Structures are given as structure tokens and as C-alpha cells.
Amino acid sequence: MKRLLWLAFGVFVVAAPLLGQEPQLPGPIGGHSNSVACEAFSPDGKTLASGSADKTIKLWDVATGKNTATLEGHAAEVTSVAFSPDGKTLASGSADKTIKLWDVATGKNTATLEGHAAEVTSVALSPDGKALASGSEDKTIKLWDVATGKNTDTLEGHAEEVTSVAFSPDGKTLASGSADKTVKLWDVATGKNTVTLEAHAHAVISVVFSPDGKILASLSMLNEIKTWDVGTGKGTTLLIANSPCALPLIVFSPDGKRLASGGRWLPMITLWDVATGRKTGTLKLKENLLGDEGVLSMAFTPDGKTLVSSGDRGEINLWDVATGKNIATIKRDTRAVGY
């Protein structure tokens, strides 16, 4: 399970609205040559970053659909990507045990952060862009100073690999999910574990704060979603999907009113109303020779009107949230040999 857990992480967007253009995405040439594991939109919504098992990160112009840059340097799968609040820096985590920082304008690797003893599963940048958190299969979370690249703290307490990390909107709290079935909240200033949330019966795959920071959502390996009141630590089982799936994931919409859930081999992405826990829509996925491929990562556009998803095919799909229609697809690079 450890080898595959990184594929489940959603990418979360807190940003300004997109411009009015509908994305026009390219055909068969220009995409990744292997499965896409993670995606993130820049704060202004103009750029999409995608990380892949082909060891690269690609930057896409959302308005034109053009691949503007391919970032190379990781020695293994790229497992997580995150933009800085000003959109000038991109952070990436990898199975090669490192985190890399990239200058978005030039595509240059500006720093490589080393210190984890195993695969980096998740990266998150603080709301002020000064700190970076990374979770790893080595069971630790590391905090880094973005300006200097120095490791400022190492948070220990999980009994198994850390699968997901997320900063609260005010930057004071860090949440972490783990294969040890727990969710932990940490005081960023002191590095102390302030709360441990225990309610899941299986490995926690993903954690994410609502945009207002009042709710934390967590998702377990059995596709069970729980929401937690950050102030009181009280949890509620919001929903459980009808069918358990491999590598489930969730993402909040930018307004915090909606959750999208999916996973590998599930035939659809499901949209949920957070307040009521009711299903509000489904996005039907394509099928391959092995059946419905499902998704490995998802992200809402900053205006919440579009959802981007990717899976084993190496394709990136854009969905109109209101209608459930697939409005565009970036196809896998068919020139590559092997998969």
C-alpha cells in the first residue's frame, strides 16, 4: 500500500477567479507519457501544473491549452505539487525523497530540499508563502523555510507513513493524515501536536481544510469521509460512498460548500453538498480495457465552476461542474514507448 498511497492526494485551490475564456486544450501530443498523479492551479487561475509518474511536471496555459514548460529534475515519480500564494514558485514532492522549488516564470529549479528518509507523499505551502510542509513515508512531517531552503522543524508522532498535509487558511495550524488511521493537528509556531483525531477504521488518505478554516475533512481508505469542527475537535461522518475503492480522494470547492470525491476504478466522480451531506451530481468517467479507470487526482478551478481530474491513462480532463459535462481533455503523449 505504501508504494501507491501518494496517488490518492487531491490538490486544493485557494485563489482568485479565472478569466472568462473556456479552456482550449491540446490533442494527443504534448501531454505526459505516464499517469498524472497531481495537479494544482496557480492563484490567478491562468496556469495549471501537473505532476506525473513520468518524473516531470508540466505547466499549461489555461486560456490557450498550450504546454508552456516541462520541468525536469526529479529522479522518480512526482507525487505532489503546490503553488506559492503569489504564483511565482512551484513546490514539488517526489518518490525520490526530495522536494524541489521551481521558478514558474523561467522553469528553473531554484532549490532542492533533502532530508526525508523515504518517499515524499505530500507538499503544502503556507498562506504567506514563507513555509513549506512535507509529509513522507518515513512517518515524519518536515517544515522548511522557503527563502533559505533550511529544515526548520521535524514533526514526529505518527506511527505509519504520513499521507497528506494541509495548512489552515490562517497558517497557524497544520493538519496531517496518516496510514496509522489518525489525523493530527499541529501548532506551526511550536511544532507541538495539539489534537489527535481518532475515528477512522482505516488508513487516512487525505486531509483538507475548508476555505474558512472552520472545518477539516478527512478521507479514509474505505472511502469514508469525516468532517471535523476544528474548534472543538468533534467529528461527523458526512458520507460513505456506496462502493469502497482503491486510493480515494476528496477536494473542497473554493467556497467550501461542495466536496468532490472519487478514486481509482470508480466509474464516476461524485459531488456532495457539505451542509447536508447529500449527493448533488456525478461526473461519468471513460472506460478502458480494465473497466472504469477512476481518478488519481482532482482540483477545482479558483472560481469553482470547473473540476480537473486525471487518472492512469495520463489524460487530464476538465469538467463543467454545473452540467457534469467533460468540456476538454489533454491526452497522453502517444509518442512515448511503454506505460
What architecture is the 5-244 domain classified under in CATH?
Answer: 7 Propeller (2.130)
Q: Look at the chain and count its residues.
A: 339
The pTM for the full model equals 0.79
Give, in degrees to the nearest 5, the angle at Cα 34 between 245 and 291: 40
The C-alpha cell of 307 is what? 473540476
Q: What residues contact residue 63 under an 8 Å CB cut-off, 6+ apart?
A: 19, 21, 23, 24, 46
Q: Which residues lie across from 292 on neighbouring strands?
A: 287
**Domain ranges (residues) in the chain:** 5-244
Q: pLDDT 10s digit of each residue in the chain, 339 long?
A: 333 333 333 322 222 222 233 333 333 335 888 877 888 889 888 898 989 989 999 998 877 878 999 999 999 999 999 999 999 999 999 999 999 999 999 999 999 999 999 999 999 999 999 999 999 999 999 999 999 999 999 999 999 999 999 999 999 999 999 999 999 999 999 999 999 999 788 899 889 999 999 999 998 887 788 889 998 888 877 666 545 555 567 888 999 998 888 877 677 888 988 888 788 888 888 765 444 467 777 888 888 999 988 776 667 888 999 999 998 887 766 554 343
Q: Which long-range contacts (CB under 8 A, 24 or more apart) does 102-111 make?
A: 102/57, 102/71, 104/42, 104/47, 104/59, 107/59, 107/69, 107/70, 107/71, 109/71, 109/73, 111/149
Beta strands in 2-139 (DSSP E): 36-41, 47-52, 56-61, 67-72, 78-83, 89-94, 98-103, 109-114, 120-125, 131-136
Q: What residues contact residue 46 under an 8 Å CB cut-off, 6+ apart?
A: 18, 19, 61, 62, 63
